[in-house]
Amino acid sequence: MSQRLALFDCDGTLVDGQAGVVNAMEAAFAEAGLPAPDRHLVRRAVGLSLPQAIRMLAPDADEARRIAADAAYRDAFRMAREAGQLVEPLYDGIADLVAALANEGWLLGVATGKSERGLSHCLASHSLTARFVTLQTADHHPSKPHPSMIETALAETGVDPAACVMIGDTQYDMAMAVNAGVRAIGVNWGYHSAEELIEAGAEVVARDPAHLKELLG
């Protein structure tokens, strides 16, 4: 059998990182002198690269304040991580799913709006680093839904697009998959609704990790 590649988004798909994101964004906006962002909108922005998320949350801010918020967010997130205050729990069933797919010969990767440092810390904290053979982060790519992350993952693994699936919880993940010409499977335990995922291009939306395993065959 030819190799298959399952690419996972991180926040909202592998882990529930919304608390850390919301807290860091609120601290960043305060530091930059911007009005506090709506928490619901912050969660909606998870998945975008940081500059795009800030632009969405502060559309009327000038570029200098956005740049200040970007730097302040990175500082706030780093300080929370170094202080041991960052909580990014795996969703129930994800560890078993990842192990099962790896044992069945799937190549696994991550395509995320997180930074490389943030993703590395997240995976290491759950002893998952060795499971993933390709890691695509916001440091090296345009924001989702640009297909660059998926295209690079395909190039690194040598997998044909027809044998790749992008798994995520946001419209940005599904649109990125469509733009890259790979399968798109949504999950309904993250930050966007199942209806939004289907509208953005998901062929199906998994109810839980066990259902996702069934969908992947």
pLDDT in tens, 113-147: 999 999 999 999 999 999 999 999 999 999 999 99
pLDDT of residue 47 exceeding 90, the answer is no
The stretch 69-89 carries a mean pLDDT of: 92
Report the chain's mean pLDDT, rounded to a whole number.
95
CATH, range 5-16+88-216? 3.40.50.1000
- Tell me, yes or no, if 11 is annotated catalytic: yes
Alpha-carbon span 77 to 75, nearest angstrom: 6
Which pLDDT band holds residue 192 (cuts at 50, 70, 90)? very high
Check residue 86 and give its pLDDT: 87
What is the predicted pLDDT for the residue at 24?
A: 93
What ranges do the domains of the chain cover?
Answer: 5-16+88-216, 18-82
Which of 75-85 are b and which e, b meaning 16 or more Cβ less than 10 Å from the residue's Cβ?
ebbbebbeeee
Instruction: Provide the pLDDT for residue 158.
Output: 97
Which pLDDT value is given to residue 2? Answer: 78
Q: Going edge to edge, which strands form the sheet with 183-187? A: 134-136, 107-111, 5-8, 164-168, 183-187, 204-206
Residues 53 and 191: beta-carbon distance below 8 Å:
no
Q: What is the pLDDT of residues 29-38, one digit of tens each?
A: 999 999 999 9
**What was the pLDDT predicted at 217?**
86
Fold agreement (5-16+88-216, 18-82): no
Q: How many CB atoms lie within 10 A of CB 89?
A: 12
Identify the CATH class of 18-82: mainly alpha
139 is catalytic: no
Catalytic residue among 11, 16, 169, 173: 11
* Residue in 126, 172, 139 with CA at minimum distance from that of residue 9: 172
At 204 the three-state DSSP class reads: strand
Q: For 83, which DSSP code?
A: T
pLDDT at 81 over 90: no
In the predicted model, is pLDDT for residue 1 greater than 70?
no
